[in-house]
Amino acid sequence: MTNQKIAPRQPDLIEPLRDAIRRRQYSYRTEQAYVDWVRRFISFHGHRDPADLGSNEVSAFVAHLARNRSASPATQKHVLAALGFFYNVVMGRNLPGVRRAKRGRRPVSAKQPRAEYRVAA
């Protein structure tokens, strides 16, 4: 066996996130949801270091959820809250525009009004 140096493992970011949520006495369900959204966000960006990601990547993730996953505006708002908490509290970094990130919108379907509601001219 050769003497190989093993690269030190990058510190886990999920445990500090859980600790911060528990210190603030958020509900267990909120903890589960925030951890899940942070994991999805990191996975979406190819497991890059979250310190290298910024508000543009947050906006891209939320837009992806809206367009490709049909996420409702309420879900998008919850994702922004989770990622805002993660960056502000855990990472100690304020991302400008995360709360005001442009959210994706679902395409509007062009529906014809029903015949009985049309006004006769």
Q: What is the pTM of this model?
A: 0.73
Alpha-carbon gap, residue 76 to 117, rounded angstroms: 34
Q: Average pLDDT of the chain?
A: 82
In a domain, 100, yes or no: no
In a domain, 113, yes or no: no
Instruction: Report the CATH number at residue 24.
Output: 1.10.150.130
Q: What confidence category does residue 112 fall into, taking pLDDT thresholds of 50, 70 and 90? A: low
In a domain, 104, yes or no: no
What are the CA-CA distances from residue 55 to residues 87, 102, 120 (Å)? 10, 10, 51
In a domain, 48, yes or no: yes
Host domain of residue 36? 14-90
The domain tally of the chain equals 1
In a domain, 114, yes or no: no
3-state secondary structure of 8: coil
Residue 109: in which H helix or E strand, if any?
none
In a domain, 21, yes or no: yes
pLDDT digits (tens, 9 = 90+) for 33-91: 999 999 999 999 999 999 999 999 999 999 999 999 999 999 999 999 999 999 999 99
106: pLDDT strictly greater than 70? no
In a domain, 53, yes or no: yes
- Residue 12 confidence (pLDDT): 85
Mean pLDDT of all residues in 92-119: 63
In a domain, 35, yes or no: yes
